[in-house]
Amino acid sequence: MYILLNWIAITQVCQRWRSVALGINELWTVITRDLSPKWIVAFLQRSSYAPAQIIIDISPRSPLRKPLIDSKRRPARQPLTELPSITIEEILSHTSHVESLHIMGKATDIIQTLMLLDGRGPLASLGVYLLRPPNYLHHDHRDESDQEYIPLILPDAFLGGGAPQLRTLHFHSGLHVAFPSWVLRALSEFTVSHTFDAMHLFAALRQMPQLEVLAIRPKRRYLFLSPISPPPGARALIHLNNLNLLVFVDSYLELVMAFLSCLSAPVSLRRHLKLTLGGYRQNHPLWERFSSLMCETIATVPDPPHGAHFRHEHHGTRVRIWATPSEQGLLRSSWPPLDDLYSLEIRYPGPGYRMPWNPTADYNASSFCHLQQFVAALGGSSVQELLIDCEMGLNITIVPQFSQLCWRALFTGFPSLRTLRFGVGATELLASASKAITTGPSFDEEEPHGDVLPSGLQRVIIDRGEFCTRVLWKWIHYAFKFVPPARVDYLDLRKDVLALLSKRRRGSVDIKPVDDATKALLIFLLRCGSRNDWVFKFALVECKWDEPDGLEILRLLLHSLDLDRDAILETTSSD
């Protein structure tokens, strides 16, 4: 049975939807800085003069200057129209229902605007963004002790002397406005970013006993915060007994250590740190104190480190550590992972890896060596997921390789490893890995190779790798031609093939990475696939072959070596 519908004019539908939208006040309660004065008035009227969220720019913009270097760079987003003072006053005269207010402007304008507010409304979140902070705040390496920093102070009569719902305060460009102590005492969430006075931050935090969430995102380095002789303002304890979430983003080690050294917080505090070491070597006192503090912290939480992600960058190394198991060895997409008790991301600028023809040169001074040893000390015996990739980009024509010592340190430093994933640059990574797992510790051709792969490795994942079928056919022919099927001993055959694969080649500079990656694929399969007490899987995610049916050829080789054909999984996604 079908129901015949009559045609309705489009204009009639639009008019109906428009009348419905105009009748729903909640659709017009958010006022943003992109609205023109005309539309702001319209939003106020359609919300029955009860806006719930306001984001406005209250200061006149500076005239746009022509870019000096890159004329094609997209300019920063600006409001469509400069708001006249009468419009701002109109907005702020209807704040009885405002729950969230974010204002941007000069410090004096912000003070004047905030004084127009009263505490009768349900204001729960307040954000302040200073458009032009003091110039001295941009001097990254100067001592703050000789700077005259006098923030603008809000009087105690701010918000009528009380705002019972105000629990969240965001400073998006430094602590340029000083709030009354009664505001700070009631806060449960506090965020500060950009450039700020560290001593003023510590002093303000000491007035926030109810604080539960703290996020710090600095844009400068605080070299004067020496662990040997810290300033007086960095010595007194900061008691935050209700703090349950601490987030540091893009910070240097000096500020992190100065804060953690004087922080008194519950053991259950969730810590998420994202920082840059700034060139500290392994024997530096500040790095040693940080390592010891992190080891002590990890020892007190129930969940040890579960996963680690090493990323080889053009000018250093980055490592990320987390506690909660992920699906299929995938990297946790969100940062910080708020469901984790802790997560740590460290960028170590400095010398990275050496080329394979000189694998031992300056290894102990490399950024990878420092971070690998740090992760191993932090919880190497508990790490079960390991992700490795390289920085790739339009300006990077040669993918840097891991040295053999790097690979051996990775494989031997995490004995409980279950999942190993090769990410961006998988072909080159596999090629360099093959050299590490087929040579002895001293890289001598006559030395026994030994198995450096963790004994419990169950899954290897390759993302977008490239492989060569010619290498596979070579070993298929070897298996069928030189070993008659009637008297084949598959165990001896696999040992023979593995020994030949592991034999170090001389003069192999011209060998393509694809060939070495295919060789590494076979070595992983022979070493791990022959272990009868483990279920081993090798997942190829969106990988490429130089000829069609490459996967079937690989399975044919596995069959000729009496290995599990189903150990190879081919997928088109990371799931």
Contact 559, 491 (CB under 8 A): no
Structure tokens at 163: 């705002």
Assign 3-class secondary structure to 291-340: HHHHHHHHHCCCCCCCEEEEEEECCEEEEEEECCCCHHHCCCCCCCCCCC
Residue 61 in this model has a pLDDT that exceeds 70:
no
Q: CA–CA separation, 472 vs 268, rounded Å? A: 53
CA atoms lying within 13 Å on the CB side of residue 204: 25
In tens, the pLDDT along 224-233 reads: 776 666 676 6
Phi and psi based region of residue 120 (left: phi greater than 0; alpha: psi -120 to 50; beta: remaining): alpha
- Report pLDDT for 208: 95
- Compute the Cα dihedral for 543, 546, 550, 553 and give only its sign: negative
Q: Is the pLDDT of residue 70 over 70?
A: no
The mean of the pLDDT values for the chain is 76
Q: What is the pLDDT of residue 161?
A: 73
| 535-546 confidence digits (pLDDT tens) | 678 888 888 898
SS3 for 530-574 is CCCCCCCEEEEECCEECCCCHHHHHHHHHHHCCCCHHHEEEECCC
Residue 236 has pLDDT above 80, yes or no: yes
Under the banding of pLDDT at 50, 70 and 90, the label for residue 204 is very high
User: What tokens were used for 346?
Assistant: 């460290």
Distance CA 443, CA 369 (A): 18
Helix (H) or strand (E) holding 14: helix 10-22
Predicted confidence (pLDDT) per residue in 337-382, tens digit: 667 788 899 888 765 444 343 444 454 447 787 888 889 889 888 9
The Cα-based distances of 420 to 184, 308, 309, 512 in angstroms read 47, 10, 10, 23
Evaluate if residue 555 carries a pLDDT over 90.
no
pLDDT tens by residue, 290-300:
899 899 888 88
Q: What is the pTM of this model?
A: 0.78
What does the alpha-carbon distance between residue 459 and residue 264 come to, in Å, rounded to a whole number?
42
- The Cα 175–Cα 170 span in angstroms is 10
pLDDT for res 238: 93
Element (H, E) at 288: helix 285-299
- Cis peptide leading into 60, omega within 30 of 0? no
CB 546 within 8 A of CB 469: yes
